[in-house]
Amino acid sequence: MINWDDLLAAFALFLILEGLLPFLNPPAFKDYVERIATMANSSIRIIGFVVMAMGLGLLYFIRS
């Protein structure tokens, strides 16, 4: 069964982490977004897959 409190806490933490770079260093964030815009879709897809796999592995490690 899903614990909604944990899910909402994880989402809140995600939002906090996503907002850190634009808040602390807006010029670096703009540069980062511009570099991503020039990357090939396949590269972005691979990076996304690797990040998801790392998150899944970490979640499995934490929950076991």
Total of domains in the chain: 1
* Cα distance between residue 32 and residue 30, in whole Å: 5
Going by C-beta distance under 8 Å and a sequence separation of 6 or more, which residues neighbour residue 1?
Answer: none
- Whether residue 28 contacts residue 35, with contact meaning beta carbons closer than 8 Å, is answered with no
Query: Phi, psi (5° rounding) for residue 37?
Result: -60, -25
Per-residue pLDDT reduced to its tens digit, 9-19: 999 999 999 99
Structure tokens at 56: 């899944």
Domain hosting residue 28, numbered range: 4-63
Per-residue pLDDT reduced to its tens digit, 22-51: 999 999 999 999 999 999 999 999 999 999
Of 47, 59, 64, residue with least CA distance to 10: 59
Give the model's confidence band at 3: pLDDT under 50 very low, under 70 low, under 90 confident, else very high.
Answer: confident
**The predicted structure's pLDDT at residue 2:** 76
